[in-house]
Amino acid sequence: MAKFELVISERAADAFHAAFNKAKEASLIGAESLRAAWLTKLHKLGIDPVVDSRLEDGAQLPGELRSVAIKSYRIFFLLQRSGYCD
C-alpha cells in the first residue's frame, strides 16, 4: 500500500507521453516494456521514494530533490512533507 502521494505534473505527463510515442516508433514491444518499467518504479516510489533513488542538488527547491533511473531515462522528483501525519 502506498504511503506517499504521487503528483505528476502536466508537463511530466506530456514528457512521458512523448517518450512513449518515440519508443513506440522503434518497437511496440520495447515501448510497452518501458511503460511497464515506469509504472513499476512509480508504484515503488509511492511506497518508499528514498530506496533506489539518489539525492540531487536542489537547494532552492522546497523539499528534497531526488532522481531515479529507469532504462535509459532519469526521472527527477521532489519529496515534500505534507502538513499532516497519519
CA-based nearest residue to 34, from 78, 69, 7, 76: 69
Determine which helix (DSSP H) or strand (DSSP E) holds 79, and give its type and residue range: strand 73-79
What is the grid cell recorded at 40? 513499476
Q: Report pTM.
A: 0.78
Between 64 and 84, the more confident residue is: 64
pLDDT, tens only, 14-47? 999 999 999 999 999 999 999 999 999 999 999 9
Specify which residues 68 forms β-bridges with. 75
- pLDDT given for residue 38 in this prediction: 95
Is the pLDDT assigned to residue 74 strictly greater than 60?
yes
Cα distance between residue 32 and residue 64, in whole Å: 30
- pLDDT given for residue 83 in this prediction: 58
Are the CB atoms for 58 and 78 separated by under 8 Å?
yes
pLDDT, tens only, 54-69? 999 977 888 889 999 9
